[in-house]
Amino acid sequence: MSRLNVPSLDDVPAGTQRILDNVGAQLGFVPNMFKTIASNPTVLEAVTTLQSTLNRVVDAKTRHSIALAVSQANGCSYCLAMHTYVSSEFGGMSSDDINLSRAGSSVDPKRAAVARFVQQVVERRGQVSDADLEAVRGAGYTDPQILAIVTVAVQVLLTNFINNVNQTDIDIPAVKSAGTPG
């Protein structure tokens, strides 16, 4: 059961309602995480703006692999369910690739290097080794791309922390493909 209060949709300001409507239009429903964050309109705006901005820094499958690897490393059940759903339903990822991403790998060698790297970022609290950096560089990523990868990982950590603190009730629709959330 969620531990933070969730405002009724009738009680959120008009601007906040517009943000929730946009989220609902993108996903087909408004997830509990966004409903909870709506209790603080500034935080809701910050989270959704950051997500929207970071959609431009790496391709979608790489973002999904990062989200799955980080959420697994951080033990966020809600985010694992959400990112499994989004990766499967909107990201074109197979259930095998979703499971590999959660384990710090991928069917794609370049994304596998990213998934391993971001798990190290989480587990070592950013104190990655030279070898960790060389592995991601060796997969073909430049330093500006590594900065983008770390930034996406931190954005995922933000929502992981919100959902872990809240113990957000999982409200993710069942995945239509062979993968299953959670």
Q: How far apart are CA 57 and CA 65, in angstroms?
A: 14
pLDDT for 119 beyond 70:
yes
State the average pLDDT over residues 135-156.
Answer: 98
pLDDT attached to residue 178: 40
The mean pLDDT value for 49-74 works out to 96
Predicted pLDDT of residue 44: 96
- Scanning the chain, the segments in alpha helix (DSSP H) are 14-27, 32-37, 41-54, 60-73, 77-89, 95-102, 109-123, 130-138, 143-166
Q: What are 25-49's pLDDT values in tens digits?
A: 999 999 999 999 999 999 999 999 9
Please tell me the pTM assigned to this model.
Answer: 0.92
Residue 155 has pLDDT above 90, yes or no: yes
